[in-house]
Amino acid sequence: MKKSYSSPNPGDRIQVSLDNNKKEEGILLESHDKGVLLLKLDNGYNIGLKKESIEEIKVIKNEIGSEIKVSEEVNNKLKLSGKKPIIDFIITGGTISSRLDPKTGGVKDLTDANEFFKTYPEIFEKADVRIKSPFMKWSENMDFKDWARIAKEVEKSLKDDNVKGVIISHGTDFLHYTSAALSFMLGKLNKPVVLTYSQRSSDRGSSDARLNLLCSAEMALSDVAEVMLVGHATENDDYCYALQGNKCRKMHSSKRDAFRPINCKAFAKVWANGGREDKGNIEFLRKDYNKRNKGKVELDNVFDERVALIKFYPGQNFEILDYYRKKGYRGIIIEMSGLGHVISSGKNSWIPKLKEIIKKGMFVYAVPQTLYGRLDPYVYESGRRLQEAGVVYLGDILPETGFVKLGWVLGHKVWRGSVATAQKMKENVSGEFNKRLGNEFLN
Amino acid sequence: MKKSYSSPNPGDRIQVSLDNNKKEEGILLESHDKGVLLLKLDNGYNIGLKKESIEEIKVIKNEIGSEIKVSEEVNNKLKLSGKKPIIDFIITGGTISSRLDPKTGGVKDLTDANEFFKTYPEIFEKADVRIKSPFMKWSENMDFKDWARIAKEVEKSLKDDNVKGVIISHGTDFLHYTSAALSFMLGKLNKPVVLTYSQRSSDRGSSDARLNLLCSAEMALSDVAEVMLVGHATENDDYCYALQGNKCRKMHSSKRDAFRPINCKAFAKVWANGGREDKGNIEFLRKDYNKRNKGKVELDNVFDERVALIKFYPGQNFEILDYYRKKGYRGIIIEMSGLGHVISSGKNSWIPKLKEIIKKGMFVYAVPQTLYGRLDPYVYESGRRLQEAGVVYLGDILPETGFVKLGWVLGHKVWRGSVATAQKMKENVSGEFNKRLGNEFLN
């Protein structure tokens, strides 16, 4: 094998083949000794490898900690015209900031903002764009710490009076977790916060990135002071949806219109420049959104990671509940049946065990694994018995949003009592509950 | 509180309040001593309670082991006309065989086939109907043993030359697990096997049961020798879908059209008597179904319960994999991201742990948590690394179907080698994979 990449950067994940036939894999660190390559292994240890003993370096992934590089050309563009509104653009990784790697046939990150904005020059027509890139990650590798960091970056931007709105580009896989987290971590939102993505990398003719970015700019300049997820509404390249960040979900592995509103409508349909002729680029589908205002955003980016999400299945052993309790978890979100049932009868009944762990201090919340629709513990006896055992029902909330909300709520010391936690979990903090469900499938 | 039920039946779950202020809960057993009420407690022990010490009996649920009673009136109906085709009707419980309990406002089982068929007399117009009721359970309380028992009942019916087709009425919550199980447990199907349900109990004006039952009869008499789930296709009471049993899912907690086809089309649209005027009651949407034939069904209702289903979420600790290994589980289905990713980088990477447990003999399969679309491990480096670790990707299979299939495959000693298991899991045994996906959202 030949070297597949000439020069890895610090932060890249690399595999090093040595002349003794051994291989080492880890994150490349900066080394002050030019003859030594410094590697952080997965077990946490660092090792130094003599460069002369290295046969081959293969970049596995270049994402961790690698700030996107802003080239001079891009910086020139970024000299603000002073005539256009300013959008702060936070690049965090994912397909939208990647391109096809002709060497492997797979996909790799764009490592340079230059590449990014060369690919999408039209975004500069509407606004002066400023770039930040706190990290470059695929979304499956993000966790609450990354959500908190993005929230912090967004707060900074929103507090800047010159900034009209924020766009965050992000991997698709778990984007709806991040958008749900931001919907809780950014209190008293005063300006639009838009998350966007692409399903195909930018260098493919069929990429959905261009429309998603242009529509994101439309929403970032709009009067909707909400955390939104903007992306294709249909399979065609015609218009996007501005979805409510905590009531949407990736519902398809690869389609452009993978993100769907669940148990609510999208805020709006959005077209790119002139796509809707002279009718304006935004058609609102709802009126119940928070308007742009002069208030100050309140960052509240805490999270208690000792929360778990369980999807119940028939015959499942309730001992899994003990596992989480013994591991020190403080809360569990259980995806029950649509109305909110688990095994409630016979020797495998979950009810005695739920009662026991709740008594011992665990918070247990029910969410619907049907995704669409609303729990209702009052229709059947078993729902009533689960409630008596202390399970709290979360209506029509998405499992993903329920999980994120529980971690966020338990991150607050003041809400940690069982009454306070349940009260906060049932409170409609950021539109995560929809009191009036309608045609949920038809969005 | 007053007695809410006058006379509980053996098999009912009851709560007994005693004159010493204690309460006991369990399943009522038949007692030969008329002065003693015999109760099976959840811990497995039986206790006898003197009737004179009982203050109140509350029926919590009446489902376990209570065979539906077939009254004389129904038996008269069941005297076969000899002129109509015979449908065997297997009643297993659920809302379709329940009615509103005016005393609690909740729902309780119909305990009598008489009630059932009084409510739905039209089913006798098309066919001579014979009833079986192996048990009455809510679907959340069923497990593989119940699936195997239903499969056995179906086999018996299908082997009877007089029977044209089978209908199974069932609770909705986990109905798609049972239909998936039957699709594997009934090999070489020769006649239609239809599962149906209702979202509203039969005594409500708005009940969806009537249309679902009549359309089920249409399909049970059709030429489609497949395991089908028949129920409302829309919110209106106009027509049903005949869905592929292992490629559909309950996608709404309460709507009539809760069951949706996933990654395929329904076999057909079905109307009830005359609902489509003179065009016939079935409009086929697919041609790739197994036709009614003279073959003999092969019952294969084994299952290894040592399988688990995990829905991955960002930041999830990989130690959960160790838990299942130490508990003696043999296989795990992981709901990964749409293309098939979990944490693949940093100290929380799942890849080393997956490699380790797979090496130790665990079978690990990936399914898409987007539900719609197909996994593809070849697009990103992390998918390739997960494959190298031994994770097997199951294309566009539903998580629920993947779980059921793995339990079924591991129930066979001959398929337990790692190569044989993977081969069987990837084989399209019963149409669970769709090679050509189309407009998945538009069904």
- Using DSSP, state whether B74 is helix, strand or coil: helix
Residue A176 token pair: 């709806």
Q: Where are the beta strands (DSSP E) in A176-324?
A: 186-187, 193-196, 227-232, 240-244, 248-250, 259-261, 268-270, 282-284, 298-299, 307-311
Q: For residue A361, is pLDDT > 90?
A: yes
Domain with CATH 2.30.30.100 in chain A: 12-62
Share of chain B above pLDDT 90, in %: 60
- A-B Cβ pairs (cutoff 8 Å, strict): 226
In whole angstroms, what is the distance from residue B322 CA to residue B328 CA?
10
Residue B174 token pair: 């986990």
Residue B204 CB burial class (10 angstroms; 0-12, 13-18, ≥19): middle
Predicted pLDDT of residue B359: 97
CATH number given to A307-426: 3.40.50.40
State the pairing for strand pair B107-109/B36-41: unpaired
CA dist B356 → B359, B386, B391 (Å)? 5, 12, 11
Domain with CATH 3.40.50.40 in chain A: 307-426
The answer, for A253 touching chain B at a CB cutoff of 8 Å, is yes
SS percent in chain A: helix, strand, coil, step 5: 25, 25, 50
In whole angstroms, what is the distance from residue A93 CA to residue A269 CA?
25
Residue A428 CB burial class (10 angstroms; 0-12, 13-18, ≥19): exposed
Q: How confident is the model at residue B308 (pLDDT cuts 50, 70, 90)?
A: very high
Share of chain A above pLDDT 90, in %: 60
User: Could you read off the pLDDT of B330-358 as tens digits, one per residue?
Assistant: 999 999 999 999 999 999 999 999 999 99
- Using DSSP, state whether B156 is helix, strand or coil: helix
> Which are the contacts of B280, defined by CB distance < 8 A and separation ≥ 6?
none
Contact in structure between B400 and B409 (CB atoms under 8 Å): no
B172 is catalytic: yes
User: Could you read off the pLDDT of B35-76 as tens digits, one per residue?
Assistant: 888 887 776 677 888 888 888 887 765 443 344 555 555 556
For residue B143, the chain A residues in CB contact (below 8 A) are 314-315, 348
Beta bridge partners of B50: B36
- Assign a CATH topology to domain A72-299: Rossmann fold (3.40.50)
Contact in structure between B199 and B237 (CB atoms under 8 Å): no
Domain with CATH 3.40.50.1170 in chain B: 72-299
In whole angstroms, what is the distance from residue A407 CA to residue A417 CA?
14
Of A378-382, B319-323, B387-391, minimum mean pLDDT range: A378-382
In whole angstroms, what is the distance from residue A310 CA to residue A324 CA?
10
- In A160-281, which ranges are continuous DSSP H helix? 175-185, 209-220
pTM (two decimals)? 0.83
Residue B162 token pair: 């007089």
Q: How confident is the model at residue B110 (pLDDT cuts 50, 70, 90)?
A: low
Q: For residue B287, is pLDDT > 60?
A: yes
B189: nearest Cα among B228, B147, B235, B158: B158
In whole angstroms, what is the distance from residue B369 CA to residue B339 CA?
9
Q: For residue A123, is pLDDT > 80?
A: no
Contact in structure between B89 and B129 (CB atoms under 8 Å): yes
User: Could you read off the pLDDT of B150-207 as tens digits, one per residue?
Assistant: 999 999 999 999 999 999 999 999 999 999 999 999 999 999 999 999 887 666 666 7
- Using DSSP, state whether B134 is helix, strand or coil: coil
In whole angstroms, what is the distance from residue A301 CA to residue A145 CA?
9
Predicted pLDDT of residue B112: 60
Beta bridge partners of A83: none
Q: Which of residues 22-51 of B touch A (CB under 8 A)?
A: 42-44
In whole angstroms, what is the distance from residue B331 CA to residue B307 CA?
5
User: Could you read off the pLDDT of A159-181 as tens digits, one per residue?
Assistant: 999 999 999 999 999 999 999 99
A90: nearest Cα among A124, A135, A123, A148: A135
For residue A372, the chain B residues in CB contact (below 8 A) are 251-253, 255
For residue B254, the chain A residues in CB contact (below 8 A) are 338-339, 373-374, 376
Q: A346 vs B64: CB contact, 8 Å cut-off?
A: yes
In whole angstroms, what is the distance from residue B336 CA to residue B375 CA?
9
Q: Which CATH class is domain A12-62?
A: mainly beta
Q: How confident is the model at residue A11 (pLDDT cuts 50, 70, 90)?
A: low
The active-site residue, picked from A173, A208, A304, A396, is A173
In whole angstroms, what is the distance from residue A390 CA to residue B116 CA?
35
Q: A348 vs B143: CB contact, 8 Å cut-off?
A: yes
Q: B139 vs A305: CB contact, 8 Å cut-off?
A: no
In whole angstroms, what is the distance from residue B332 CA to residue A313 CA?
13
For residue B335, the chain A residues in CB contact (below 8 A) are 311
Give me the interface pTM, i.e. the ipTM: 0.83
The active-site residue, picked from A111, A172, A178, A401, is A172
CA dist A77 → A114, A165, A210 (Å)? 10, 18, 18
Q: For residue A281, is pLDDT > 60?
A: yes
Q: How confident is the model at residue B133 (pLDDT cuts 50, 70, 90)?
A: confident
Q: How confident is the model at residue B424 (pLDDT cuts 50, 70, 90)?
A: very high
Q: How confident is the model at residue B115 (pLDDT cuts 50, 70, 90)?
A: low
B95 is catalytic: yes
The answer, for B132 touching chain A at a CB cutoff of 8 Å, is no
Residue with the bigger pLDDT between A110 and A428: it is A428
**Number of neighbouring beta carbons within 10 Å of residue A152:** 14
Predicted pLDDT of residue A46: 78
Q: Which one-letter amino acid corresponds to residue B436?
A: R
Predicted pLDDT of residue A7: 62
> Which are the contacts of B78, defined by CB distance < 8 A and separation ≥ 6?
B70, B128, B129, B130, B131
Residue with the bigger pLDDT between B96 and A145: it is A145
The active-site residue, picked from A126, A247, A250, A405, is A250
State the distance between the two ends of chain A, measured CA to CA, in whole angstroms: 50
Of A113-117, A225-229, B69-73, B180-184, minimum mean pLDDT range: B69-73
| Probe site for chain B from A13, A173, A410 (most B CB atoms < 10 A) | A173
Q: B258 vs A338: CB contact, 8 Å cut-off?
A: yes
| Probe site for chain B from A253, A255, A374 (most B CB atoms < 10 A) | A253
Cα angle for residues A128, A133, A136 (degrees, 5° grid): 140
Q: How far is B250 from chain A (nearest CA, A)?
A: 6
Q: For residue A66, is pLDDT > 70?
A: no
For residue B15, the chain A residues in CB contact (below 8 A) are none
A250 is catalytic: yes
Q: A250 vs B371: CB contact, 8 Å cut-off?
A: no
Q: A384 vs B254: CB contact, 8 Å cut-off?
A: no
- Using DSSP, state whether A406 is helix, strand or coil: helix
User: Could you read off the pLDDT of B315-331 as tens digits, one per residue?
Assistant: 999 999 999 999 999 99
Residue with the bigger pLDDT between A290 and B380: it is A290
Predicted pLDDT of residue A13: 75
For residues B417-423, average pLDDT: 93
Q: A139 vs B258: CB contact, 8 Å cut-off?
A: no
Q: For residue B363, is pLDDT > 60?
A: yes
For residue B341, the chain A residues in CB contact (below 8 A) are 138, 140, 173
Q: A381 vs B106: CB contact, 8 Å cut-off?
A: yes
Q: How far is B431 from chain A (nearest CA, A)?
A: 20
Q: For residue A64, is pLDDT > 50?
A: no
Q: How many alpha carbons lie under 13 Å from residue B2 in its C-beta half-sphere?
A: 5
Residue with tokens 């399988």: B307
The answer, for A416 touching chain B at a CB cutoff of 8 Å, is no
Q: For residue B129, is pLDDT > 60?
A: yes
